[in-house]
Amino acid sequence: MGEGIRREIVLDPSVIPPLDESLLRLSEEERDFLHRAITPDDEELRKRIVEVQRTAYEKHAYPCIRAFHFVNLMMSSNSIYPTVLEAGKSGNTIFLDLGCCMGTDVRKLVLDGYPPQNVLGSDIRQDFIDLSHHLYQDSATNSIRFFTSDIFEVDPHPSSLITKSPDVTVVDTSQITTLEQLRGRIDHFYTGALFHLFDEKTQYALALRIASLLKREPGSVVFGRHVGLASPGLIDDHMKRERFGHSPSSWKSLWQQVFTELESTEFAESRVVVEASFQGEFDNKVIPKTSNQPSLLLFWSNFKSRESGCGEVKKIEMEYSESKNEDRWTTLQ
């Protein structure tokens, strides 16, 4: 697409750390959820989680798989989550988790009351979706629409993209097979641990495509979390991947540039508000380091903007505060 998009590289096996079962750490909330969703038996629960982890890691050696993040409740810890959940209970919104991995967050969302027929989970790895059904034993009962699709195949520049939603008909989620079908139709959009997989140009290309899927109506929300840096630059990566870490100021600039490109400078400056929060630091046992550079957790949420006469766009909320000693990831205020 001429945007300098760089896909994930094939890892050298020598840089992939071995699995460590001691990294399985569940909060009380997570344990309660998994007891309800999988099994109340702790021994059987641990056995199934470890089995799924080993299978996934053999094919896709992501640090998040090694750290058992696929069974952690990341999304619901964001401060915008209750607002999203309450709006979703109306039954008139569509939710998308991009990079859903094994779908733990969206299963929790449905358990909390978001209508399952309005929830979508998309990942580029079919293996993760298949393993999720093995983990939760719900292939026959699950009503969430999971599908594989590549966000970078979405064209961010079709005609009349931004000024209004291109399709106001009800979304039949059971018929969704590609992200392109969702252009301008997503009310609530979550993406966790995705941006930090890529270099700076590719993150910009990703943001463009996310913006193209958002519904242009009041209350539209985008929120997520990923690794960031106090000063923007390359993340210290023991797997030798080129990954960029945004600071609060560079994250703000990214979204201003995105909406300038898709709309106008005036639109970006007057209607897009950006804040961010760094809360905690990645555990060195999960992500080994080759330097003293701190990799911090950037939490963000984009929601309803100030009104200005020609539709709505997200208010991208960020706030910066560095906290290196937090065990739990806390939320954006």
The reply to whether 9 falls in a domain is: no
pLDDT band (50, 70, 90) for residue 325: very low
- Domain membership of residue 312 as a residue range: 75-317
Cβ–Cβ < 8 Å for 188, 93: yes
Q: Which residues contact 179 (CB under 8 A, 6 or more apart)?
A: 98, 122, 149, 150, 151, 153, 154, 209, 213
pLDDT at 51 over 50: yes
The reply to whether 189 falls in a domain is: yes
The reply to whether 43 falls in a domain is: no
For 166, counting Cβ atoms within 10 Å of its Cβ (0-12 exposed, 13-18 middle, 19+ buried), the class is: middle
pLDDT at 3 over 80: no
CATH number at residue 112: 3.40.50.150
Split into its structural domains, the chain has a count of 1
Segment 189-228, tens digit of pLDDT: 999 989 988 999 999 999 999 989 988 777 888 888 888 8
pLDDT at 164 over 60: no
240-258 burial, b for 16+ CB within 10 Å, e for fewer? ebebbbbbbebbbebbbeb
Q: Say how far apart CA 229 and CA 236 lie, in whole Å.
A: 10
Instruction: Report the percent of the chain where pLDDT is more than 70.
Output: 80
